[in-house]
Structure 1
Amino acid sequence: MKVTDKDILQLAQTDPRKAFHWIFGQYWEELYRHACRRVDSAETAKDLVQEVFITCWDNLGKLSAQEHLQPYLYAVLRNKILKLFEKDEVRLRYALQHAAIDAATDIDPQQQLLTKELEDILADEIGALPERMRQIYQLRHDEGLSIREIADRLHLSEQTVKNQLHTATNRLRDRFTGYGLSLIMAGTVLWMQQAV
């Protein structure tokens, strides 16, 4: 039996645990499916939805009985996803910058050969991206445009640009995992240079 948002939020004033139980029962699966479409990991999606419900619990007493829970929960989820994308991009840039510095001091001829091979693989893989995704990736990595600048230039939302960059990065990363460890290490160095 589906309980209305108004009834749940009225109940939250007297029995917050039961109200939260109803919210969780009615919205968990829907939010989880939505999160899975936005991120490439079921575990990450579960973690994000769990964070949404923690935020919901923390704010349950502040929600008005006139509010609608679905838009509120989706807004919280959207913000969690955006923060995740921003955090992942910062971590990736940091790791790639430090690996590039370490690798630049001791590249041998074999490493240079592997790097050349990876440059070819990377160029092929970037070329195989869907046209709009490739365009966004190249504007970010070749021209160094910010997400906002790309969104403005292509008349897209910033979220669309972030999603496309996230997907492109995952595709490129997955492409390198099919190769040997030394090639992957060289790929990491090359990828760092691309990301900077």
Structure 2
Amino acid sequence: MSETLLSSLQRGSHQAMEQIYQVYWADIFDAALKKTGDEAIAQDITQEIFISLWENCKTINLSGTLGAYLYGAVKYKVINYFRSGSIKEQHQTALTALMDEQHTAAADDKLILRELHLEVDAAIALLPEKMQMVFTMSRKQEKSMKEIAAELDVSVQTVKNQISAALKLLKKSLSYILLMAVLIGLT
């Protein structure tokens, strides 16, 4: 999903920029707030990141995910803010405390988790309509196979087959996520 958004953004799509802003704003703001401890500064940093993204959208070349790129931008903007010399020593002490591994890892994990949810939702949306409906009823609405079969007027075996086929397709289309999780240490 983030790849198609980035492609649209690179073509100058205002809608893509709005969607990126809607999806990532809260997480980017939270990450900046955790690092600065000041809402006004965090808002300024968040705003600067999205302005910079829009101004440089045609030249951005990502090696990772859009979320990782934005989170990296937070880190560098915060560091530049604290280096600017316009802050007091107490802010530098706060930065040291806020930039420790636990805070960084928690913010990273939150962004990565959101990205993974978006990828899974996108993969589910690509399933055939009937299979998508059965899978959603089973996994998201937590209905039993009997309930699904009764509601859709099909056999329980058909429901089992649809769920099994959906899981196979999702496993195949999302196999790279497991590799990413292993590489970044989520598992």
TM-score (norm 2): 0.45
When Rg is computed on C-alpha atoms for both structures, the one with the higher figure is 1
The one of the two structures with greater contact order (alpha-carbon pairs below 8 A, sep at least 6) is: 1
TM-score (norm 1): 0.43
